[in-house]
Amino acid sequence: MDRLTKYSDRLFFLFVLLLPLQTVYLLREPMIGGAKWQYGTIGIFASALLLATAVMIAAIGRSRQAKAEGIRDPFRGLISEPLPRVALILFVLWAFLSPAWAEDRALALYGALTILLAADAFVMGRDLTRRGKGGMIRDILILGAVLQALVGIGQFVTQETFSSALLGTASHPAWAAGTSVLKNGSGRWFRAYGTFPHPNVYGLFVAVGLFLVVHRIVGMRDKVDARRHMFHRAVLIAALPVLSLGLLVSFSRSAWAGFVVGTTILFWRAVQDAFHFHSADRMDALGKSVEIPGSRVKPGMTGKYAFAGIVAVVVSMAMFSWILRGVVFPRFDGAVVAQEGSVADRKTTYRDAWRVIGESPIVGAGMWNSTAALIRLDPERPVWDVQPAHDVPLLVLADLGIPGLLFLFALVIGSLVTAARRKNTAALAMFLVFLPSLFLDHFLWDSVTGLLLLAVSFGMMSDEVST
């Protein structure tokens, strides 16, 4: 392996490890009417800087290797499927065109650069997985999720957070206005943040880690593999209750729903593979798989580990939910939900988004500029009350117009079709983990951490053959 490739791989792994941290150098913190315009902030994240460095080193290394081997296009093989490749290129190019008509050109350019970094993270994740290093990315994300879960559990127990400029965390007292809390008959309950800016972001990150633990467990198929990785399996099983409690104390319904749906698909496929006999086959002279009539092979060990994962997750969730029933169960109470005002707030953001779309449906307001457009359209409105639509497709339509949304849909559909054709259940299940957050929140689009998490997760899963 080329030395530059080794350096870029290590930097990418370090980027994944530091992704949960919000360490940032702020370039701009705009104030409007005496209040901070949160969605107009521009900063350089330490994790994004590491990723950019890894990408540049990888590009130089690949170019040198291609020149030595006489290859004209060193990057052609990174995404072989035509539709996702073309859609991704067009999506990034359209994002970089949007500053030309954006209200805030600096913010639009900042968003376009973030999209480019996310595309690079997706491609590098695929490349590492193709080279057999996807397991390392998954293990690093699991480690990060466990650390975040421990921080989140500590925050819930103490009912407070800590402030750290180095980690990019702010203090969120449970009594302060603006802090995400649960209100019921027993008082105000603080929702865990981890080192993230909101409990929903923290909850999704821990849900992804918990999903990856389950994926690793159900992927252990034979006795040889089980003996070789006995310690690894024991660590994974021990991580399940920590991550389960960590996910629970986020009190993020979208993260809960995503984990349940995505993991159910994993279990279904794993148990289906384990408890059904399959026809044995061989390779003919042309390299094609040919079934041997009447021949059957026994299933592997997947069912055993899938059952262990099911039991561990269900028992952990049930036990912790019962212990915290006074806080957990009201999250599904219609009266409590109405009192929280989250549904009404989301409806307001949807109406605002359609207002922006109605003004410029073709090209949109510009990358990450929907809130800037709203401030212009309603200058008397307090800036703290202006929020992006809590729905990523709607937000993309508001920011990048119809072409941007079409390019995004082509990218997603092309990737899902490829995953289905390859019987890559893990990638399809991972998509379901993110799906509720994609339709109920905005941080997977207008947040550097959210976009990069989405890109890394799909990059490392998209090039697997199957679960």
Q: How many residues does the chain have?
A: 467
Q: Taking 80 as the threshold, does the pLDDT of residue 108 lie above it?
A: yes
Mean pLDDT of the chain: 82
Q: Taking 70 as the threshold, does the pLDDT of residue 338 lie above it?
A: no
Which positions ≥6 away from 248 have C-beta within 8 Å?
317, 320, 321, 324, 328
Q: 185-216, pLDDT tens digit by residue?
A: 666 778 889 999 899 999 999 999 999 998 88
Give the domain ranges of the chain: 1-131+341-467, 133-338
Structure tokens at 123: 């491609």
- The predicted pLDDT at position 376 comes to 93
Higher pLDDT, 339 or 416: 416
In angstroms, rounded to a whole number, what is the distance separating the alpha carbons of residues 455 and 402? 22
- The predicted pLDDT at position 75 comes to 57
Q: Are the CB atoms for 190 and 160 separated by under 8 Å?
A: yes
Of 51-55, 134-138, 292-296, 401-405, the poorest mean pLDDT is in: 292-296
Higher pLDDT, 208 or 385: 208
- The predicted pLDDT at position 467 comes to 36
Which positions ≥6 away from 151 have C-beta within 8 Å?
192, 194, 195
- The predicted pLDDT at position 286 comes to 41
Structure tokens at 414: 């092309």
Beta strands 31-32 and 35-36 are antiparallel
- The predicted pLDDT at position 208 comes to 96
Rounded mean pLDDT, 267-278: 64
Q: What share of the chain is helix, strand, coil (3-state, %, to 5)?
A: 65, 10, 25
Rounded mean pLDDT, 12-25: 93
- Where does the pLDDT of residue 301 fall: very low under 50, low under 70, confident under 90, or very high at 90 and above? very low
Structure tokens at 64: 């040198």
φ, ψ for residue 101, nearest 5 deg: -120, 10
* Top-ranked range on mean pLDDT: pick from 121-130, 131-140, 180-189, 429-438: 429-438
Q: Taking 50 as the threshold, does the pLDDT of residue 293 lie above it?
A: no
In angstroms, rounded to a whole number, what is the distance separating the alpha carbons of residues 120 and 385? 34
- Where does the pLDDT of residue 228 fall: very low under 50, low under 70, confident under 90, or very high at 90 and above? low
Q: Are the CB atoms for 362 and 401 separated by under 8 Å?
A: yes
DSSP state string for 74-119: TTGGGS--HHHHHHHHHHHHHHHHGGGT-SSHHHHHHHHHHHHHHH
Identity at 244, one-letter amino acid code: S
Give the predicted TM-score (pTM) of the model. 0.87
Task: Indicate the burial class of 26 (C-beta count within 10 angstroms; 0-12, 13-18, 19 or more).
Answer: exposed
